[in-house]
Structures are given as structure tokens and as C-alpha cells.
């Protein structure tokens, strides 16, 4: 599949993700409304699902920047960050994104926003201090590739949607502690259906997270390849990934909700077993470096 086909596919994946989220929320809302014998809960869940979809499209980037404690980057303070991004944006045929920084010694970066005209590239101060210019170009090219490949909306919306499902399930569990539920269940009727409803409500956020993580891992490989094409120097990005991995200490303010956005695992790279890789936000750095350098003649 060509990069252009992947870009178009990402638009479809975004709409599928939002539609899938709506179905999941309706299913969870129906389960809760059935359990408590209150149809109004379903109507509220559907209304929240629709509003969250619309809200996440317009404002999810602001949520991410707030969650990561990012601040605007000035040209005077981060001159190389600005000039590298400007030059690569021109090469890629993109508008220059807004630039933000996170005051954190751990080297990392991410891109967010709803489209190319409303995109943000954010880097930690640790990354800007640690990288050589060619390595910084590799990282920025990777993030610009997320923008050009139309990953950013898909990956940013996933933060809000998966989080909302988790909140909905948590709210149900907390309500369950205070009792309640269908009268016929308390009297012994239809308990199997009640159990299945509870299990489904609990598993829905896990399913949403697995989808989010699978999307993230696939997008990283594509952005690596696209970034290497943009700079024509895959060694720069490969070296940057190795430095990010070698730091091996978590960022000061991390969140599982935003971890998949970063170029490297914000919790620190580590070797993992297959079950841990299933829940990992990033493919192993060794595999990414091998893929980059494998195309070098």
C-alpha cells in the first residue's frame, strides 16, 4: 500500500473509530439502563456519546496539551526547533505547525491536532538538549509525517474516546457498590444476563484501549518510514530513537491516555514479554531501527 493510500485509509479509520465508539457507548449505556431498569440512562449515554464525538474533534488537541503540561515554544528560546520545523514543513508541503515544549529532561516528542492547518508539534526540553541537528530533523520529520499521513486526528481522538468509556465503566462500578439493579435480578431472575452485562461494561474500556494501542504501533512504523523519506537520512531518526530508548527513565508527568502519541514510550523503553507487548503503546525500538536501517544501501 502506498503512503497516499495509507493517508486516505487513516481518514476512514477515524470515522470508523468514532462510529465504533458510539456503538460501544450505546451498548454500555444500554447495559447500565437495563441493569438499573432506567431507560433514561441510555438516552443520557447516547447524548454524551454524540457530544463527546463532536467535542473531541474540535478540542482534543487542547486536552492533550493540557494533560502533558505543554507550553508554547518561542523562536528566541528554541531557535533550532523552529528552523528545523520550518524547513521540513516547506519540504513536506505542510503549513508550519504550532510549536510547544514540555519542561522535562526525558527526550520525547509528539504531534497532535485535527488537520494539517491546525496541527501542533511538541517536544520535551530534554529532547531539544540531547539531539544533534540531524537527529532532531529525524524526530521532527517523524512528527510531520504523522500530520501529513493524517494520523494526528485518529490518535488524538482516541485519547478522549477511550478515556470517556473508562469513566463510564468506572461510574457504573461505583454505583454498583451502593446496591440497586433490576428487581427481578435481586429476586433471582435473569442473573446470567445481568452478569454478562456487567462483564461487557467492564471489558468495553479494555477493548477500546487495545484498539487504540494497535493503531498507535502501526502508525509509528509508517511515520518512521515517511520521516526517513522526508529527510533522506534514516540514520538520523534511527540514532534519535536509540538515544530516546537509552534514556530509559519515565517522563515526570505521564499518562496512559496520552502515551501512544509520543515518538518513544514516555514510561521508558524496556524489554517486554508478548503479553506486555500486547498492551504496549510502541513497537520495540530495535524493530524500528532495523526497519529504518534495513532500507539503507
Read off the C-alpha cell for 278. 500486547
Which three-class secondary structure state does DSSP give residue 262?
strand
* CB contact at 8 A, 201 and 172: yes
* CB contact at 8 A, 60 and 114: yes
Read off the C-alpha cell for 75. 523562536
CA distance 166 to 209: 9
CA distance 260 to 152: 11
Strand-by-strand arrangement of the 98-102 sheet? 71-72, 98-102, 119-124, 109-113
* CB contact at 8 A, 46 and 39: no
Active site residue 287: no
Question: Out of 6, 135, 137, 143, which one is annotated catalytic?
Answer: 143
Distances (CA, A) of 278 to 62, 64, 209, 217: 28, 24, 11, 10
Distances (CA, A) of 2 to 5, 6, 234: 5, 6, 19
Catalytic residue positions, numbered: 143
Amino acid at each position: 500500500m502506498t503512503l497516499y493510500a495509507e493517508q486516505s485509509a487513516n481518514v476512514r479509520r477515524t470515522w470508523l473509530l468514532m462510529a465504533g465508539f458510539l456503538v460501544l457507548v450505546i451498548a454500555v449505556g444500554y447495559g447500565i439502563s437495563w441493569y438499573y431498569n432506567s431507560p433514561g440512562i441510555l438516552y443520557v449515554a447516547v447524548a454524551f456519546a454524540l457530544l463527546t464525538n463532536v467535542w473531541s474533534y474540535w478540542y482534543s488537541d487542547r486536552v492533550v496539551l493540557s494533560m502533558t503540561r505543554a507550553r508554547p515554544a518561542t523562536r528566541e528560546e528554541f531557535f533550532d526547533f523552529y528552523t528545523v520545523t520550518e524547513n521540513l514543513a516547506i519540504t513536506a508541503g505542510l503549513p508550519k505547525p504550532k510549536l510547544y515544549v514540555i519542561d522535562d529532561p526525558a527526550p520525547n516528542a509528539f504531534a497532535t491536532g485535527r488537520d494539517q492547518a491546525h496541527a501542533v508539534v511538541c517536544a520535551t526540553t530534554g529532547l531539544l538538549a540531547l539531539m544533534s541537528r540531524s537527529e532532531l530533523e529525524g524526530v521532527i520529520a517523524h512528527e510531520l509525517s504523522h500530520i501529513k499521513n493524517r494520523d494526528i486526528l485518529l490518535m488524538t481522538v482516541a485519547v478522549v474516546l477511550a478515556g470517556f468509556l473508562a469513566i463510564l465503566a468506572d461510574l457504573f462500578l461505583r454505583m454498583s457498590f451502593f446496591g440497586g439493579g433490576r428487581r427481578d435480578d435481586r429476586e433471582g431472575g435473569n442473573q446470567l444476563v445481568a452478569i454478562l452485562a456487567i462483564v461487557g461494561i467492564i471489558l468495553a474500556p479494555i477493548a477500546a484501549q487495545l484498539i487504540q494501542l494497535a493503531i498507535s504501533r502501526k502508525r509509528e512504523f509508517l511515520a518512521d518510514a515517511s520521516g526517513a523519506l522526508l529527510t533522506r537520512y534514516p540514520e538520523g531518526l534511527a540514532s534519535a530513537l536509540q538515544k530516546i530508548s537509552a534514556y530509559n527513565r519515565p517522563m515526570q508527568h505521564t499518562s496512559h491516555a496520552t502515551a501512544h502519541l509520543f515518538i518513544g514510550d514516555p514510561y521508558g523503553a524496556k524489554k517486554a514479554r508478548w503479553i506486555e507487548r500486547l498492551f504496549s503503546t510502541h513497537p520495540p525500538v530495535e524493530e524500528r531501527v532495523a526497519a529504518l536501517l534495513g532500507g539503507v544501501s
